[in-house]
Structure 1
Amino acid sequence: MTAQDRINAYWTGRAPAYDAYQQRPERLDADAAAWAEIWKQALPPAPIDVLDVGTGSGHVAMAVAGLGHRVTGIDLSEGMLAEARKHASAASNPPDFRLGDAVAPDFPDDSFDAIVGRYVMWTLREPATAVANWKRVLRPGGLVVMVDSTWFPDGLDEEMQPGVTAFYDAEVRSMLPLATAKSIDETALALANAGLTDVSVTPLTTIFQLDQEYGVSPGHEVQMQFLISGRA
């Protein structure tokens, strides 16, 4: 089993519980409204062609499609894709969910107007390669818009949930340069170093306030999340 296989297996195992947490009824409407506004402000007016890399259970893809965009979501976790397809089956403008690698998306050059992702940058092997490949499949002037935070600044060993190191072992952790970033500037630099321009970082205060009100998942603390964007 390769390192990427172990990452995929971890997320497939977590998929049902992960998605259930995203769909918590007490927070669902407020979350949907907040994220819809975030993506509306971050992206050009609909419709454009959007690729959601590391789509997971489809949270971002569904929100962006809900704005009227044409969305393709890719992930290497079959379990996550199964959850995403359940959501798509009830949507009026469903994303196209496919098995695919966020680091090396298998699409022709100039296929998309924007590439989006949430909680993806930290778990990317070779983020420089990933962003270079994103540039390739973007049309001229296209956008990369990522959401992330500094989830594990003290190291994955101390912070992640018990049992996860069976998958995120030493080999896997050595491949993920942004997993233990101490500043979101490291994520922004990954975009800039790959040749994106107009790189900016925006704190997501509405999500921070929702996290304060409703709490966050076990093993995490309430902390600021950021929207990091750049232009091809």
Structure 2
Amino acid sequence: MSVQEKINDYWTGRAPDYDAYQQRPDRLAADQEAWSRIWAEALPAAPLDVLDVGTGSGQVAMVLAGLGHRVTGIDLSEGMLDQARRHAAAVANGPVIQYGDAVAPDFPAASFDAVTSRYLMWTLREPQEAVANWARLLRPGGTIAVVDSTWFPDGLDNASENFTEHYDPQVQAVLPLAAASSIDQTVAVLQQAGLSKVNVTPLTSIYELDQRYGVAPNHEHQMQYLVTGTV
């Protein structure tokens, strides 16, 4: 089994519970409002052609489509794709969800106005190559916007979440941001890929929601960040 196949299997197994947590009724409306504001401020005004890489259960793709963007979401986890397609089919003008590799998305150059991701960078193999590929997909002035945090600064082996079976040493060896201790390491990836105007925004609204409602099982309460850059 390849490194990516191990990662895919992990997220396919997690998909139902992961999606259920994202859709928690007690927090759903507040999350929708907060994330809609975050993505509206991160990107130029709709409608844009947006590629959401590592779309997972489609939460970001759905928010972006709700803002009026034309959204394509890609992922390699069939379990996550099942969840995302179910959500997309339930709304008018929902995102297009399809199988695809976030490291090397199979689209012509200059196909999109923006590339987005959330909670992908830490588990992304070859992130600098990936971001360079995303930049080639953008039209002049296009935006890359990623959300992540330093989830496991002490390493995956010391995480409270059980990664042992899938995120083994072979997998960890190709994930340079998995144990990042600072968001500056993600910033550096965008800068080294040639993006300009790279900015970091702490997502205080999400931090406050986590304070109010609690965080996902086996996670710590910590700041998340939006990192943006342009081509």
Normalized against structure 1, the TM-score is what?
0.99
The CA distance in 2 between the partners of 1:74 and 1:165, in whole Å, is: 26
After superposition, residues 64-143 of structure 1 pair within 5 angstroms as 64-143=64-143
Looking at structure 2, the residues matched to 185 and 160 of structure 1 have their Cα atoms a distance apart, in angstroms, of 24
Percent of paired sites with the same residue: 65
State the distance in 2 between where 1:214 and 1:28 align.
Answer: 11
Q: Displacement, 1:160?
A: 4.5
Matched with 1:203 is 202
* Unaligned runs of at least 5 residues, structure 2: none
In the aligned structure 2, how far is the partner of 1:205 from the partner of 1:93?
30
Matches within 5 A, 1:1-232: 1-162=1-162, 164-232=163-231
Distance 1:64 1:93 in 2: 11
Shift of 1:99: 0.2
Q: CA deviation at 1:141?
A: 1.0
Aligned length in residues:
231
* Aligned amino acid, residue 62 of structure 2: M
| Cα drift, residue 221 of structure 1 | 1.0
* 1:185-212 deviation per Cα after TM superposition (whole angstroms, max 9, x unaligned): 0001000001000000000000000000
Separation of aligned partners in 2, 1:137 and 1:70? 15
* C-alpha contact (below 8 Å) 2:161/2:219 kept by paired residues: no
Aligned-partner Cα distance in 2 for 1:53–1:46: 19
Matched residue of 1:71: which SS?
strand
Query: Would you identify which runs of 4 or more consecutive aligned residues in structure 1 move more than 3 Å?
Result: none
The one-letter amino acid of 2:229's match is G
Pairwise CA distance, 1:22 = 0.3
Matched letter for residue 182 of structure 2:
S
* Secondary structure at 1:166 match in 2: coil
Unpaired runs of at least 5, structure 1: none
Residues 18-71 of structure 1: per-residue CA shift (max 9 Å, x gap): 000000000000000000010111111110100000000000000000000000
Distance 1:93 1:160 in 2: 39
Q: CA RMSD in A?
A: 0.6
Distance 2:19 2:224 in 1: 19
Distance (whole Å) between structure 2 residues aligned to residue 136 and residue 88 of structure 1: 27
With the length of structure 2 as denominator, give the TM-score of the two structures: 0.99
CA distance in 1, matches of 2:93, 2:41: 20
1-structure distance, mates of 2:159, 2:76: 24
Q: Distance in 1 between matches of 2:181 and 2:161?
A: 19
